[in-house]
Amino acid sequence: MVANAIQSSVHMTTDPTYQTALQQYDRAVTHLKLPEGLVEFMKWPRRELSVNFPVKMDDGSIRVFSGYRVHHSTVLGPTKGGIRYSAHVNLDEVRALAMWMTWKCALVNLPYGGAKGGVVVEPKSLSLGELASLTRRFTSELILLIGPNVDIPAPDMGTNAQTMAWMMDTYSMTVGYSVPAVVTGKPVNIGGSLGREEATGRGTIVCMLEALRHKGITSSPKDISVVVQGFGNVGSFAAQRAYDLGFKVVAVSDVTGGYYNPHGLNIPAMREYTNRSPRRTLEGYKGDCDQITNAELLELPCDVLIPAAMEGQIRGDNASRIKAHLIVEGANGPTTPEADDILDDRGIMVVPDILANAGGVTVSYFEWVQGLQEYFWDEDEVYRRLERILVRAYESVVSTQEQYGVNLRNAAQITAINRVAQATITRGIYP
């Protein structure tokens, strides 16, 4: 009965993000000769926690919040994955993101399984003190599931280095001694790694450069136009890195809409503006650009489109209007399977999320290792190691693509899933 109930919940989900994750998995495993039971096992989350907890607000009132933590796989090691604060968080979304984390870690050969967590909250509606109280109480609910050798949270949408500092302190106060390695993405002055904040965006550009090289595009960067959807932790650093390398970033967007200049935007000025903004958005920005909608931004003519916002942005209803020659996925799950098919037919290459945005978890791994060893690297060392790992992963995906005659997404998933499968076979089924 329990197994049937789990199977029903996994296979009959209506959440579009989880549907996308499952469809991608189903497409990839058809190319692998794996036992049917193993294929089914790898699809299911290993364990899930749902909690409801009270938080005392600044005005003395009490609000109840819901939160989740999902461990998708523990085959390759402790689980790793972010904590997001969003009004739209739900259990199926967290399941999908945890599954993608499993494949992402396997693809770049990190000794982790995938996890994800979240709290249903609009973080910008809370004061700093209320966010601290919420984070500490949520962390206390997770104590049985997290630990430096068990499950290591990190920042995600709506959370940041300060959130991780509160989590680390709460865990440390509970066990009675300081445990910096229980989280990653924390401030440098309490054991964080140099380069962690920039890592996902910077890694996205590493993958963009590899894709351009493999496509034989040798134009000067100033002649290559880049559009970035999302101007948060991933998108803003990707835009900045592309700008620094001389690429023409013609459009960016955030929750307030899109900002477009066909001759190129002043990305440093835009980042400085958001850093000064009370809500850290581009709202009211008066630079040399036109304001457009997010939908219009996705359909702009450009060489490279970097979706670095939410899931499900490129779908069956707009994929035929995408004018980019190359898509590099900075976000998790921005392209639906239906859109993948349309883009394939149109000859538009997509560098998939589990490869293109793996820079964040890679440098999180570096932070974890540095914390365990209590020996820290300089920024140049972090970036050298990051680039080496991502380039090696890109080459392995291209090799799989050539072997199976599939697109890059299928190739990345095949590579990652097979690594988890082979590790499971080697370990055996307990007991």
Using CA of residue 95, residue 98, residue 102, residue 107, what is the dihedral sign?
positive
Q: Are 54 and 63 in contact (CB under 8 A)?
A: yes
* Dist CA 69 CA 67 (whole Å): 7
Tokens of 419: 């690594």
Q: Report the SS3 class of residue 31.
A: coil
Q: Which of 116, 124, 222, 323 is catalytic?
A: 116
Q: Are 49 and 57 in contact (CB under 8 A)?
A: no
Buried b (16+ CB within 10 A) or exposed e, 379-413: eeebbebbbebbeebbebbbebbeeeebbbbbbbb
Q: Clarify whether 215 is annotated catalytic.
A: no
Closest by CA position to 115, among listed 139, 151, 157, 169: 151
* Dist CA 167 CA 82 (whole Å): 12
Non-local CB neighbours of 146 within 8 Å, separated by 6+ positions: 69, 139, 152, 153, 171, 182
Write out the catalytic residue numbers. 116
